[in-house]
Amino acid sequence: MRICSLLPSATEIVYALGLGEQLAGVTHECDFPPEARAKPALIRPRTQLGAGAAEIDRQVREIVARGESLYVVDDEALRSIAPDLILTQDLCHVCAASPEDLTAALARMARPPLVLTLSPQSLADVWRDIRAVGKATGREQQAETLASGLESRVAAVQRAVAGLPRPRVLCLEWLDPPYVAGHWVPEMVAAAGGVDAINYAGVPSFQISWEQALASQPEVVLVMPCGYALDAVLQEYRNMKMPPGWLELPAVRCGRVFAADSSAYFSRPGPRLATGIEALAKLFHPALEVSSEAGTAILPITAETRSARAASV
């Protein structure tokens, strides 16, 4: 079977099911496991790679206003692979290529492949999608073992934090303009023993005002721009001029502002979400024991970083 994955989370699922050798094409963002980087990239974005949050937001709005797709599919490369299965998504047209982006390429294929569209809204949906990929690839037993193991890990965290204090958590999925994380992220916060200060499980990410962010009075702030690794998160925060009143937030005053490796453990609906929940549980309740991977998924933002660009008036 020749598989093409058009979203990073599906690439992670394919490898977790032991199908890495059958993966014939990926996207420019597929970077885990590391060997995925060696696969041919079939998708490229129309937005400028490496641009700041405000510039990316401007480019996205401009492209969408023109009625164009945010992604370009390499039709020739895709047809040359002649995949048996294409994994795509229909959840967020900003985050990854959608079925509509494939229309032209599929129309020119002599033998149309099976297209499996993943659209998770919750953790249960993510585990369901793992099972769906297993069914489509003949790896049903491996998928069941993987999904059941992830469910068990989340349940173990929920038992460990039961009855403990639940901090109010502001999850910033974008900084300029500010967005709060949605879909499965509020559910992850709850499973780890916290309370999302603004959003609810299953609700998509949405833009807020800085006044709303300040009014939520979070005890913990997670800076977790969608698709950003830790270094990029820290750089984005350092370059951001935070609003008046930011330094007076409970989370900021108590040194509880953190950078999360969103790309690895939060924004991608794949197997590593379970590690993200363990990382959150350790953050909220430091006495808990977690894996070394979970222990490094979230890092504190230092006092120097917090104040470097904060507005004074």
Q: Are residues 98 and 190 in the same domain?
A: no
Is the separation of the CB atoms in 87 and 10 below 8 Å? Answer: yes
pLDDT value at residue 59: 73
- The CATH number assigned to the domain holding 103 equals 3.40.50.1980
Owning domain of residue 95: 3-145
Residue at 158 is within a domain:
no
**The pair of three-digit structure tokens given for residue 73, joined into one six-digit string:** 């599919």
Residue at 81 is within a domain:
yes
Residue at 191 is within a domain:
yes
The last residue of one of the domains, among 145, 177, 211, is: 145
Confidence of residue 150 (pLDDT cuts 50, 70, 90): very high
pLDDT value at residue 309: 41
CA dist 299 and 279 (Å) reads: 10
Q: What percent of the chain has a predicted confidence (pLDDT) above 90?
A: 67
pLDDT value at residue 55: 72
The mean pLDDT of 296-310, rounded to a whole number, is 65
Confidence of residue 305 (pLDDT cuts 50, 70, 90): very low
Give every CB contact of residue 47 below 8 A, 6+ residues apart in sequence.
56, 59, 60, 63, 70
Q: What percent of the chain has a predicted confidence (pLDDT) above 70?
A: 85
Q: Does 28 score more than 70 pLDDT?
A: yes
Residue at 153 is within a domain:
no
Better-predicted residue by pLDDT, 24 or 235: 24
Chain segment 196-227, per-residue pLDDT in tens: 999 998 899 999 999 999 999 999 999 999 87
| Total number of domains constituting the chain | 2
Indicate the residue type of 141. Answer: Q
CA dist 301 and 280 (Å) reads: 15
Radius of gyration of the chain (CA): 20
Q: Are residues 197 and 298 in the same domain?
A: yes
Residue at 290 is within a domain:
yes
Q: Are residues 202 and 82 in the same domain?
A: no
Q: Does 304 score more than 50 pLDDT?
A: no
Residue at 156 is within a domain:
no
CA dist 66 and 77 (Å) reads: 26
CA dist 83 and 14 (Å) reads: 14
